[in-house]
Each structure stands twice: as C-alpha cells, then as structure tokens.
Amino acid sequence: MSFKKTVAIIAISAAPLAYGQGAKDWQGEAELGVLITSGNTEETNINGRLGLVHEVDDWRNMADFSSNYSESENSDTGADQTTAEKYKAALETNYKFDERQYWFLRGAYEKDRFSGYDFESTASTGYGNRVWQRGERSFLDLSAGAGYRYNKLETVNSDGDDVEKEAIARLAAQFNYALSENALFHQRLSTEIGLDENNVISQSETAIKANIMGDLSMKAAYRVKHVSDAPAGVDSTDTETSLSLLYGF
C-alpha cells in the first residue's frame, strides 16, 4: 500500500479526536489497528473506527464511522494488490420515553469494494427497549422497526437493474457485559429483511475490550456479514478478525 494512502486512512480515523476532546458533552472512542508483515508473506492491514455517543435525559445520539483496508503481495507477479477496502457510517438517534423504552431513527451507508455493490444504504425507524441493565456498563438492548433499503449494484442483475430498493424490517440486539472493572464483553447483532425481494442481510460483531492503562484499551473483535441473495460472483458470507488499540475520550 502506498505511503500516502496509509497516512490518509490513519488521518481520517484520527482527525475527529480534536473535535471529540473539545466537545465535552460527547463521549467516544477512536480505534486503530495496523498489521504489516514481511518475509515469506508481504501483507498490510489497517482498520480504523470512530464511535461517538451523546446522552441526555430524553435523547441518546450515536455515530459510528469505520474503515478497513488490506493489501498483500501477488505471489505470481510480486506486485501489491488490494484484498479489502471498506468504509462504513451509521447514525442513530433515540428518543427515550422512560429509562428503558425508546424510539429510534437510524441511517447507515456502506461502501465495500469487493461486495458486488457500489454502495449499500438503509434508513429505518422503530421501537427499542433496554430489557436488562446492571450498572452503567452492562445492558441488553432489543429493537424492532421498519425502513427502506437502497443498494447500487456494480453490474446489472438478472432483471436488468443495477439498483436494489425495497422496504425492510429491521431486528437488532446489543449486549454489553462487564467482565471486570477493566474488561468488557460486547455483542451486536442485526438483521434487515427485505419485504419485496426477500434479501436478508445479517451482521454480527463479537468483541472483548481490556483496559491497558488510563484511556488506552486493547480490543479483539470478530465480525460476520451474511447476504442471503448476494450479487453474482460474490460470496454470501464475509468474516473479519481484528486486534486494535482504543483511545477513549
């Protein structure tokens, strides 16, 4: 991977830190993982993420931005080739009826170079409930709602279209459990069911975070995305394993 591209990805992931530190009403974390190998295997992996949360009595606002880039050396030509390039953004606002129940409005955008889509986007709204909570760090949120999906394909499908658009039903869950004062288990699940074409897109993230010192933590995560009706020539299931550093602010 070129030096300029490496710097650009790191800068995009880390630049909002200055804003986050100045905006005291917001809390969040910046995540950066870099793995470069040489010798028998030449490979570079970079993943970055910025998560923000703002919560007051009646509202909870969340923003999540992430990127993933991977490059390896072609064994036949010796040239570098990109093996993964993905950018994601999700924004969500919750209006809290009480301590547990809330209404959510959510929008998401994903651009994955190797997914068969030029981009994927959804907007959804519905009802959520914090069905269990212990302290500030351990809780279980469940939500259900409806919305709309608009995906742009890289090539024309069998129907002669290059766009997938349909109403969706969305189901989601988030489970956080404090293993100790310094360790947290995190599980996030979601499924979006197409009501017209019946294309189901499900995603999962399983992670463990452990504090190293101060505001610095280590995170190990495993992510899975499954598309029931994936574009032609593309695998239905993608998996991703990452090890990264987190800076909380």
CATH of the domain at 197: 2.40.160.40
Parent domain of 230: 3-248
Number of domains in the chain: 1
pLDDT at residue 20, as a whole number = 39
Classified as helix, coil or strand, 79 is coil
pLDDT at residue 38, as a whole number = 62
Which single residue is written with the structure tokens 């069911």? 193
**Structure-token pair, residue 224:** 């899975």
* pLDDT averaged over every residue in the chain: 87
pLDDT at residue 17, as a whole number = 38
Q: 61 and 92 in contact (C-beta within 8 Å)? A: yes
Measured CA angle at 107 (ends 88, 224), to 5 deg: 45
For the entire predicted model, the pTM comes to 0.83
Q: pLDDT by residue (tens digit) across 63-122?
A: 999 999 998 877 777 678 888 899 999 999 999 999 999 999 999 999 999 899 999 999
Q: Which residues contact 150 (CB under 8 A, 6 or more apart)?
A: 121, 122, 163, 164, 165
pLDDT at residue 201, as a whole number = 96
Regions of the chain with pLDDT less than 70 = 1-24, 37-42, 78, 157-160
Longest CA–CA span in the chain (Å) reads 61
**CB crowding 67-95: b at 16 or more within 10 Å, else e:** bbbbbbbeeeeeeeeeebbbbbbbbbbbe
